[in-house]
Structure 1
Amino acid sequence: MRILLSFLQDKVSRPHPVPSYRFWQHYIKNGIIEAEMSYIEVPEVDWAEGLVYDEGSVALQNWQERSWQATLNYIKANRQNIDIFLSYLYPKQILAKAIEQIRKMGIPCVNFYCDSVREFKTVPAKFRIFDLIWVPEYEALPLYRKARVKHINLPMPMWVEPQLRCRTPLHEIPGVSFIGSKDILRENLLGQVIQKGLPVSVRGAGWLAQSAGPVFVPGSAYQKLINQVNFVKQQGFSGLAIKGLQQLTKFTVVPVGDDHIFPRPDFDEYINITQSSMVTLGINRVPTFKRTHNKPLTYSRLRDIEAPMLGACYLTEYCEGIEQLYDTDNEINVYRTVDELVQKTTELLNNKEKRNKLRINGQQRVLNDHAIPSSLKKIKKALFGT
């Protein structure tokens, strides 16, 4: 299958001032190659640039017109080399009339989107124009069914280099490791389990002052109004009510002590810690305006694919659909409460045989069933029947 790819590629030396995005093109490109398929790109289009501009702005409109015209021109000149158009586009990046023209040229259009359950109350109207939406969150499927938008439930597109797919580490790192950016729910959960005596090491953006994320410049009063309108469109008035409630209600956080926080790892350290920790921890709860902090929304994250793929002994937070991905007794383990997290982690720390079993079984399952080549083959079958 020959793929025209739009997966947040950019054309700048330093990343745009938006949340981390460059890893997506690395994963999908290598996954396509491993699947023995091929991809091409529109040379002059900076797809990630479309995330920089505000909804409804002239700058965004100019980016849309410039980028989509270049895409259409490129397709017309290279139609014989394209079987499908595969994208990762946010609603504001999409120009429906351009997608319509691509489809009229006989090229099916597939869009991946990984935050539907967190960001949307209803499926964006612009998603209807695609032949297929790649939806990784099990919890988001009712949204797509209700909207009657054609979709396919496939795992997050994760890829790791073959030489990093070790089965068991030569030397385990003692204790429990969590690597991920700081937020209020993660801090509270980790603070509680550490308070109960669990030996957790915490790393990632925001935990130390020097690893804080980019600073965003406040917008104009008009832009704030536009943002408020868009917020209500996405989250509904119930989301606006929960947002107000969370601003008024104090959520008491159990802090993570400084002695448990370590510097943000570089790539090699990240891989080594994930693979070699006696237990690698996943947290699937997210701050959102769909739920209060006391009853948070949970859904499966990229880490639920990445950690087992790297051969980790993985314990992650339960969420709907996790049993569709793994045998949660023999491939990974899951927890639902703070006490269950402590109990299951303690059991794993004291049982090397079980740790090794999870490493081997979890990695075999994810590489066989949840890797990008498997997902691309399923998309091909959904579109073309073979």
Structure 2
Amino acid sequence: MTDWRAEMKQIPFFAEANAALKAALTEQEAARTYRRYVLEARKRGLRPLHGAERDTALRLRLHERASRLGWPKPKGGLHIFLGYASWNWEAVLPEALSPFGEVASFEWRSHGFAEERSDWLDHRDEMNAMMLASFRAANRRRPVDVVVGYFSGLTVSLETIREMTATGTIVCNFCFDDKLHFPGAIIGGRYSTTAAIAEAVDLNLTSDPEAISRYAVHGGLAMFHPEAASPRLHFPHDIPFVHDVSFIGARYGWRPRFIERLKALGIDVACYGQGWPNGAVTNEAMAEIYSKSRINLGFGGIGHSRKLVNLKGRDFETPMSGGLYLTQHNPELALVYDIGREILTYRNEADCAKIIRALLTDPEHAAAIRARGHQRALRDHTYEARWTNALKALGALA
């Protein structure tokens, strides 16, 4: 970015105009993508499969391989191969899968591969070959039941996945970022998103409930699988409250203006994350901040848009840490929480300020919401609960 552009973004009027333009473009792209997939699905006579219908389709697809693998197996009896890149939270994945059995991992960044590098395409096939060699070694030692991938078209080829399934293993792949830019740009001869590999993956896991039909257009079976949280990392700390309201997340888009408007309404928010004066914090420090805040603020918007919303990791980390969670209203939250009893949502700045004032003047009501949110997170939103659902859908677990 040139210096003059950076300087312009420091001027409030231009910063807001830039954010509004980016939001409008993002919303237009999302609307076009939605219409395109609705029309394509209708043209092909496709509809999303859920629940029993999806599970029946999976059984038909997996019958021979599942029979050879001796499925279903007891929890703890599976052999799982995990392929992924660890940037931050992903480091928890081997531990998250360990309750289900032995986990063999290939984390490609630790082998010197990085998809953000300008020469990534020159090394992508090399990474795929090394991962396949690691998979084959694990499979020789003991047949791999399930490959769990954090793959995309940018990182892993259709051929790599097909070579894995040809051995008799079953592949599921998850994505938490497929609401926009789908099917994505063509990079190195294929789509950069999970659209490129959907047909070869046995079960595509997505945090966007509306994406299930998009995967169907690309030949894939998909299942709603939102983010989760680890109770080992995110747990209540027995410490006194320090902040009335806090927020953890990067400073960009409309967030700073929202925080400023809350302040004008008499609500001070302690902000942590990239771009805020308090700076970024570690995962360990996050749980402490959630615990020492009477109210934890959230934003559900995508990029610079307030209209487009999706589920976030904070939606699960905050209640798991025992924090009272007040976030931007998103209809998808009703799929994972009892809104009003376990978490709270706001519609705009004035609504947010009104809810905060009410909570601060009624600590018993706030404590009840905090406790119910924590109980729900422990019951339904751990990684173990999430992967239990996915592995049962596959038919892997007894």
Same fold (TM over 0.5): yes
CA shift for structure 1 position 129: 1.7
Contact 1:139 1:299 (C-alpha < 8 Å) held by counterparts: no
User: Match of 2:294?
Assistant: 278
Q: Which amino acid aligns with 1:275?
A: S
Contact 1:4 1:86 (C-alpha < 8 Å) held by counterparts: yes
- Tell me which of 126, 136, 142 is aligned to 1:76: 136
Q: Which amino acid aligns with 2:116?
A: V
Q: Which amino acid aligns with 1:181?
A: A
| Paired residue secondary structure (1:297) | coil
CA distance in 1, matches of 2:335, 2:235: 22
CA distance in 2, matches of 1:351, 1:47: 53
| CA-to-aligned-CA distance 1:244-271 (integer Å, 9 cap, x gap) | xxxxxxxxxxxxxxxxxx3433454322
- Tell me which of 263, 276, 284 is aligned to 1:207: 276
Farther off after superposition, 346-355 or 307-316: 346-355
- TM-score, structure 1 length as denominator? 0.73
CA distance in 2, matches of 1:309, 1:137: 21
- Tell me which of 216, 229, 241 is aligned to 1:172: 241
- 2:86 equivalent to 1:86: no
Q: Which amino acid aligns with 2:338?
A: D
CA distance in 2, matches of 1:157, 1:63: 32
Q: Which amino acid aligns with 1:113?
A: C
CA distance in 2, matches of 1:43, 1:145: 29
| Paired residue secondary structure (1:379) | helix
Contact 1:28 1:158 (C-alpha < 8 Å) held by counterparts: no
CA distance in 2, matches of 1:372, 1:278: 26
Contact 1:318 1:335 (C-alpha < 8 Å) held by counterparts: yes
- TM-score, structure 2 length as denominator? 0.71
| CA-to-aligned-CA distance 1:125-179 (integer Å, 9 cap, x gap) | 32222111111123434433554521111220421417x522x744122310001
Count how many residue pairs are aligned between Structure 1 and Structure 2: 309
CA shift for structure 1 position 37: 2.8
- Tell me which of 6, 15, 24 is aligned to 2:90: 24
CA distance in 2, matches of 1:185, 1:43: 35
- Tell me which of 323, 343, 355 is aligned to 1:312: 323
Q: Which amino acid aligns with 1:155?
A: P
CA shift for structure 1 position 353: 1.0
Contact 2:326 2:345 (C-alpha < 8 Å) held by counterparts: yes
- 2:201 equivalent to 1:130: yes
CA shift for structure 1 position 60: 2.8
Contact 1:137 1:153 (C-alpha < 8 Å) held by counterparts: yes
User: Match of 1:299?
Assistant: 310
Q: 1:190 to 1:125 in 2, by over 3 A?
A: same
After superposition, residues 26-175 of structure 1 pair within 5 angstroms as 27-33=92-98, 35-42=99-106, 46=110, 49-54=113-118, 59-79=119-139, 80-120=142-182, 124-161=195-232, 165-166=235-236, 169-175=238-244
Contact 2:176 2:226 (C-alpha < 8 Å) held by counterparts: no
User: Match of 2:85?
Assistant: 8
CA shift for structure 1 position 204: 0.7
Q: Percent identity?
A: 20
| Paired residue secondary structure (2:151) | coil
CA shift for structure 1 position 82: 1.8
Farther off after superposition, 81-90 or 327-336: 81-90
| Paired residue secondary structure (2:327) | strand
CA shift for structure 1 position 309: 0.6
Contact 2:84 2:108 (C-alpha < 8 Å) held by counterparts: no
Contact 1:50 1:93 (C-alpha < 8 Å) held by counterparts: no
CA shift for structure 1 position 83: 1.2
CA distance in 2, matches of 1:70, 1:369: 36
Contact 2:85 2:109 (C-alpha < 8 Å) held by counterparts: no
Contact 2:204 2:222 (C-alpha < 8 Å) held by counterparts: yes
Unaligned residue ranges in structure 2 (runs of 5+): 1-77, 185-193
Q: 1:45 to 1:66 in 2, by over 3 A?
A: farther
Q: 1:66 to 1:196 in 2, by over 3 A?
A: same
- 2:385 equivalent to 1:374: yes
CA shift for structure 1 position 369: 1.1
| CA-to-aligned-CA distance 1:293-318 (integer Å, 9 cap, x gap) | 4x531111010011011110111111
CA distance in 2, matches of 1:320, 1:300: 10
CA distance in 2, matches of 1:72, 1:65: 10
CA distance in 2, matches of 1:158, 1:47: 27
Q: Which amino acid aligns with 1:96?
A: L
User: Match of 1:216?
Assistant: none
